[in-house]
Amino acid sequence: MRLHGLAMIRNEADIVESFVRHNLKLLDGLTIIVHRPSDGTREILDALGQEGLPLELMPLDELGFYQGQRMSQAARSVFARHQPDFIFTLDADEFLRPPNRAVLHDVLGALPPQRHCITACYTYAPDPRDDASELEPVKRLRHRHPHDTGPGKFRKLIINKSYADDASLVICHGNHALASADPVKDKALAKQLQVKEPLLSHYPVRSGEQVLIKTLIGWLAHIVIGEHQIERSAHWRGFYERVKDRGVLSREEIDEVARYYLNDCMADDDEKARFTLSELIPDPLPVDFEIRYAHLRRREPLSCVVNYAEQVALAYFEKSRRPIRPGFA
């Protein structure tokens, strides 16, 4: 059984090396859509590629965050060129949990033929017990919510090779599900199989700088494609507005971002209201590699935001360029 990973990544310099090294211990290959990073992510990926790892980079220069469309296209390309049996759709903060490939083979081999599936995850968050001096985030973040992401909430998609033979299928934004232009198929896809045990560990909140970059550039990228007008990702708009008003997020607000992700592990609003971060439990993911490229990270939020603003300004200039009339600056 051949297994491949597919991700679309922008500014993830603090975790991308760990993401590649860890997941390639369980996958035959990893394809990454590199979406205009400015924090050292591209330099780290290039260095990893030069090590000879089975890592394929697909540069993407557009400003907007068209994740569903680009992942859908890239998945077809990966199936055509690498011919895996399954593709794991991942983000840079998602790490496969099984201790070895045999577990993945058993789980996926038990699926009905040609069936796609979804997996829950365990969500990790910063904790006062963390070793703040540890540069490797998966080693540093050792505590997670006691429960996995609940029914109907955060799931990640694992795509069967049958995807390549059905042109009607697309990957939904967030890599949480498949959809189809065929109404009958789309209805059937709403009942996707879920594997029994969570196969992923999720590290969405890792530091104040990382949250600022994700909040600011993430929301601006949604504005570029007009998604600021819909409910999806409204949580990012709220955090973005706070930073716009005050220039910073407090420690309490960063904890609030962590709680937003942890909410997917809770059954109802009452449990969400009662939960505190002190209830996180220790469950470190084993890490058996060393970080080599921490020196390539550039994690200054202002630098990343200014870089993105410059990209938007240049794109606007190219689109609206008009001859300058004599006598006018």
CATH number at residue 94: 3.90.550
Burial class (CB in 10 A: 0-12, 13-18, 19+), 222: buried
Which band of pLDDT confidence, cut at 50, 70 and 90, is reported for residue 183? confident
In a domain, 326, yes or no: no
Q: Is the pLDDT of residue 140 over 80?
A: yes
Mean per-residue pLDDT, 270-287: 86
Q: Which of 43-52, 60-69, 258-267, 279-288 has the lowest mean pLDDT?
A: 258-267
In a domain, 79, yes or no: yes
In a domain, 324, yes or no: no
Within 101-161, residue ranges assigned H as helices are: 101-109, 137-140
In a domain, 325, yes or no: no
In a domain, 329, yes or no: no
Tens digits of per-residue pLDDT, 95-109? 999 999 999 999 999
In a domain, 257, yes or no: yes
Number of C-beta neighbours around residue 175 at 10 A:
25
* 210 within 8 A of 14, measured Cβ to Cβ: yes
Q: Which two tokens stand for residue 112?
A: 């009905």
Domain housing 82 = 3-283+292-319
Which band of pLDDT confidence, cut at 50, 70 and 90, is reported for residue 269? confident
Within the chain, residue ranges assigned H as helices are: 16-23, 41-50, 67-82, 101-109, 137-140, 183-189, 208-224, 234-246, 251-262, 269-274, 301-320
Which band of pLDDT confidence, cut at 50, 70 and 90, is reported for residue 136? very high
C-alpha dist (Å) from residue 181 to 69, 227, 231: 13, 21, 22
Q: Is the pLDDT of residue 259 over 90?
A: no
Q: Which of 3-7, 19-23, 47-51, 134-138 has the lowest mean pLDDT?
A: 134-138
Mean residue pLDDT of the chain comes to: 89
CA-CA distance, 153 to 104, in Å (whole number)? 22
Nearest residue to 51 (alpha-carbon basis) of 242, 289, 286: 289
Tens digits of per-residue pLDDT, 292-318? 999 999 878 889 989 888 988 888 888
Q: Is the pLDDT of residue 230 over 70?
A: no
User: Which residues pair with residue 3 across a beta bridge?
Assistant: 86
pLDDT score recorded for residue 229: 59
**What spatial distance separates the first Cα and last Cα of the chain, rounded to whole Å?**
64
User: Which residues pair with residue 159 across a beta bridge?
Assistant: 87
Domain total for the chain? 1
C-alpha dist (Å) from residue 141 to 37, 85, 95, 201: 24, 32, 13, 11
Q: Is the pLDDT of residue 152 over 70?
A: no
Q: Is the pLDDT of residue 328 over 50?
A: no
Is the Cα dihedral 283, 287, 290, 292 positive or negative?
A: negative
Percentage of the chain exceeding pLDDT 70: 93
Tens digits of per-residue pLDDT, 13-42? 999 999 999 999 999 999 999 999 999 999
Q: Per residue in 60-74, is it b (16+ CB within 10 Å) or e — as a string?
A: beebbbbbbebbbeb
Residue 89 has φ and ψ, to the nearest 5°, of -85, 120
Residue with tokens 């993945």: 104
- Which has the higher per-residue pLDDT, 155 or 82? 82
